[in-house]
Structures are given as structure tokens and as C-alpha cells.
Chains A and B, each alone.
Chain A
Amino acid sequence: MDKEKFHIPMPDERTIQNQINQIVAAGVKRNKSFPAYLKSMYHQVGIRHLFSDRSEFVFILFIAINLLSIFLVRSETVLRQVDNLYAFIFLISPVLFIALSVYTYSNKIMNTTYEVEMTCKYNVYQIIAFRMLLFSIISILVNSMTILFIVMSYNDAHFFRAFMISITGLFIFSIVFLYTLMKKHSTVIAAMTIIGWVLGNLLLKFLDNKFYSDILINLPLFVYGIVLIGSISFYIHLLKRLVYFKQTKGAF
């Protein structure tokens, strides 16, 4: 008996590629973009629930007031020299962010509500990422206001340089902080990062004062700009990883 031979035409390379793309597009779920994620969290969860803890607001206010007073008191006494002032701004710029982030992190991770919240659509890490982003913005605003007050009483200080030093300090610290938290989930590690930041800056200031002062006073602003853009993009990249973090896989 003659067997009928079926001929299956081999598709060309372009058709194959198109079909692969179609299959992949249909089968692979794409992660939402970071801004889209933040937007949907903002709309679906809402600011009221993203900052559900009323004590957090009291805490923010308390830290902000304290920070402002430290700045103002210090500027009156010790920080007569402008390089001292810039070094102090660089050192202290992430303090508000530290206070808020450490509080929110330990509050969410250590709370007994962790397990329930981790199994919700928007889990604990996504909430933390959202909050940290907002804390950075709050820190920039509070720092800018404080710097504005200080610059008014200093003849040598320039607002823009002080502002750039402050935000660069904030984002460099935020990167180090977020990176270590994501590698090792522990409040001890978080505390060590903060101590490391303070000691590192103080050491630089006192061991090699000239070099450190030069960087702060003479480094061209565009270099600050480049460092700042790099830091912000890396910071956003880390926050994105926090959003898509799968606790269960144990790594980012």
C-alpha cells in the first residue's frame, strides 16, 4: 500500500522568530515597570494604608524637628568654618532617612503581622520600597529647608553646593543601606551600616582633613551631578529589586 507522504513546509527564519516571539509574549508574564507598580500601589492601597501606623507620623515629626534643631544649634557653635559645615551636611544628610527607614523596616519585619502581610497581593517588601522612596523625597525636602536656613547665616556657604552635597550624601548612604539590608536581613547589620557611615566620615574628616575638605569645597558641581545621577539610578534599581523580591528564594 502506498503511504501518502506529508510534506510539512519549513517556515522561514523570520516566521520562526515571529512565532517564537508570539509564544513568549503569550506565555511569559512580564513584571510591571517600577513606576507602574508604584502607581498601582498608590491607587489600590492608598497613602492612608501605606502609612497605616499613626505612631510613624509622630516619629517622622519628632525626628524632623530634632534634626532641624541639631543643625541650627551646631551651626551656631562649632561649624564656623565652611568646610566643617559641608562635612557636617554630608554626614548628617541621611539621618532623617535612616531614622524613618530603620523604623519602618524593623516595624514591618519584626511585627507579628509579617506573615499575614507577606501573603497579601502587595507584600511587606513592596510597602517598604514604596515608603523608602517617599522617605528619600521627605529627606530631600527637610534637608533643603534646613540648608536654606543655615546658608542664610553663612557668608561663605553656597546653597547649591550644600544642596548637592546633601543629596549626594543621602543617596550614597541609601544605596549602601539598602544593599546591605537586601544581602543580610538583620537590624544589627542595619545598625552597623549606620555606625560605619558616621565613623567613616569622621575618620575621613579628621585623618585627612585637607583631601576631604578639597572634595567638599572644590569638587566641581558637575562631578557632584554625575555622582548624584549615578547614585539615584542605582538607588531606584535597588528599590525595584526590593519590589520584585521573593522572600522565599532567599536572594534578590
Chain B
Amino acid sequence: MIIIKDVSKQYGSFSVLNNINLEFINGVYGLLAPNGAGKTTLIKMLATLISPSKGEILYCGENILDMDEGYRTLLGYLPQQFGYYKNYSPKQYLLYLAALKGIGKKEAVNIITELLDKVALSDVMNKKMKKFSGGMIQRVGIAQALLNDPKILILDEPTAGLDPKERARFRHLLSELARDRLVIISTHIVSDIESIANEVIMIKNQQILYKDSVEKICASLEGQVYEASIRYEQLDEFRTRYVVLSEKQERGNMRVRFIHKEKPETEWQPVTPHLEDVFLYEYRDEIEVEV
């Protein structure tokens, strides 16, 4: 459906993405990487907001930039910072965007009612958005991305500002939508995509690190993730010797989850690796810098 072919993006001498090759068919794809890894750049190229410095992106064999409005008609896009007109109600704003998407008014009114119901905003559809919380605005953003029943749905950090209940509702909505379309979600929150993504794409050092199912990516750490209880005083030394993924207090001791590639100690308990473990392990340098 979509092929990213030898795509690189540079800003002057600064390289953001280098020689990216990807292929997407229907289903949910999670683009997972820490902030600044180039997720948004890739997403913006897929949304035709910026162009690759090298390479091309093809939809059914045709360059998406040449397809022009033909491609935009198939596209639903939620940017990282979803902009809106404060004095508009969700209904007014969606009517406006529906017009820009070339949807007739009568048809748009029905679609909007249905979509606002799906994102649980029916009761505030005529209220001005300036009074809305971040989560509510984000839900308007999700609704606008679905207005034209897009074949390609691209969502950049869609769960930012959503509470756990809203996140769960959103995941459910996406699974439903992905049955007959391509959904690409960029996120740095592992739980957003762990349970719904058919494939996860991880970017590291401007290149694709993984593009595989969650199971296969997790298998890369099979037999290397352990949990152990240690005394609080041992924690600093433990951190210097092993890659610690998480730590929590447990009955006066510390329960640590960590990675070790050689022979384990007998008291360590081997555990099944999760996507979060791979994420924390692969991006440990970037994450330490961020902290």
C-alpha cells in the first residue's frame, strides 16, 4: 500500500533520517522511539507536509507528492499539536474541515454526529472549544482525522492529554478502524501500541532498528530479562553493573528488573520480556540523557 523507498531527511548538515525503507499494508503500525528520534519527521513526510531530501514515498506505486489532492483525499491526519479555533464549537470546526475535505454539508452533519458520539463528545458538540480540556481537544482531533473515512490514518502522539479511560477507548476505536485501513501511530508511550499494533517500528540513529511484531521484537531479549530483590544499599552498585529497566519498593527491599546477557545468579528470577523492556534497553543512552 505505502512504500517508503530509500528516504533520507536532512536539515542542512543535520541528518534526521537516513536511508529509510519501509512497507505498510492494512493494520496498525506503531512508530515507537524517544522524543527527537525522527518520528514526527517521518510522519510529516507521510502526511506530505515536508518532502524527503532523498528517496520517495509511494502509494500503490505512485509518488504521494505527485498524487497531490488525490492522496490527501485518502488521508486522515492528527498532528502532534492539534490546532483549533477557540471560538468554534467541535461541530462548527468539523463542518469547516469537512468542507475543506470536499464533503457535502448534509453528509458531513451525519458523519460529525456519529464521530462525536464515538469520541464521547456528543453532549458538548455545540460548546465553544476554548473551555475544553486537553483530552477533549485531542478527541476533537481524532474525530477530524476520521472525517473523510480515510484509507490512511496517521496519528502523531494521539494519546497526549488523554486519561487512562480515554486511552482505552481510543485503543478500542483504533483496533476497530484498522480492519480495513492503514493506521500509523507515532508515540513514545509503549502501552499505547503494545496491545494493538500489528507491527512496531523503532528508529535509532536515524535508521530503522526494528520493524516487526511485538512478539518478535520482545524475543530479541528472550532469556536476558530478570527480576531480583536486593537491599536498598546495594542499588547503586547494581545499577552500575547491570542495565536496570525498572525498580520498585517491595517489603523493605528493592525489586529490580534488569538485563543480563551472561550466566544468571541462582536467586534471580527469569521473566518474559515486554516491549517496554526492549524500548528501555535500546534507548538507554537517550533516556539517561533526558533524565
Contacts and interface: CB of A to CB of B under 8 A. Distances in A.
B100 A112 contact: no
A195 B73 CA distance: 40
A14 to B, nearest CB: 30
Interface in B55-114: 65, 68-70, 72-73, 75, 77-79, 81-85, 87, 95-97, 99-102, 104-105
A45 B84 contact: no
Contacts of B70: 29
A104 interface: no
B49 interface: yes
A26 interface: no
A184 to B, nearest CB: 17
Given A115-B49, A116-B77, A121-B72, A246 B97 contact: no
A49 interface: yes
Contacts of A118: 48-49
Given A45-B99, A49-B99, A113-B85, A123 B65 contact: no
A111 B86 CA distance: 11
Contacts of A111: 83
Interface residues of A, number: 28
Given A49-B96, A119-B77, A249 B65 contact: yes
B83 A248 contact: no
A122 interface: yes
B65 A45 contact: no
Interface in A110-154: 111-123, 127
Nearest to B99: A49
Counting chain A CB atoms within 10 Å of each CB, the highest count among B65, B81, B96, B100 belongs to B100
A53 B93 CA distance: 11
Interface residues of B, number: 33
B184 to A, nearest CB: 13
B229 interface: no
Interface in B100-137: 100-102, 104-105
Contact of B72 (A44, A53, A120): A120
A119 to B, nearest CB: 4
A247 interface: yes
Contact of B77 (A115, A248, A249): A115
A248 B100 contact: no
Interface string B20-31: 000000000000
A115 B79 contact: yes
Counting chain A CB atoms within 10 Å of each CB, the highest count among B50, B82, B97 belongs to B97
Contact of B48 (A53, A122, A244, A248): A248
Given A49-B96, A113-B83, A113-B84, A119 B47 contact: yes
A46 B99 contact: yes
Given A45-B99, A246-B65, 12 more contacts: A44-B99, A49-B95, A49-B96, A49-B99, A112-B84, A113-B85, A115-B81, A116-B78, A116-B97, A117-B97, A247-B49, A249-B65
Interface of A: 29, 44-46, 49, 52-54, 111-123, 127, 244, 246-250
22 contacts: A49-B100, A54-B87, A112-B84, A113-B84, A115-B47, A115-B83, A116-B82, A119-B75, A120-B100, A121-B69, A121-B73, A121-B101, A122-B69, A122-B101, A123-B69, A244-B68, A246-B48, A246-B65, A248-B48, A248-B51, A249-B51, A250-B51
Interface of B: 47-51, 65, 68-70, 72-73, 75, 77-79, 81-85, 87, 95-97, 99-102, 104-105, 141, 144, 148
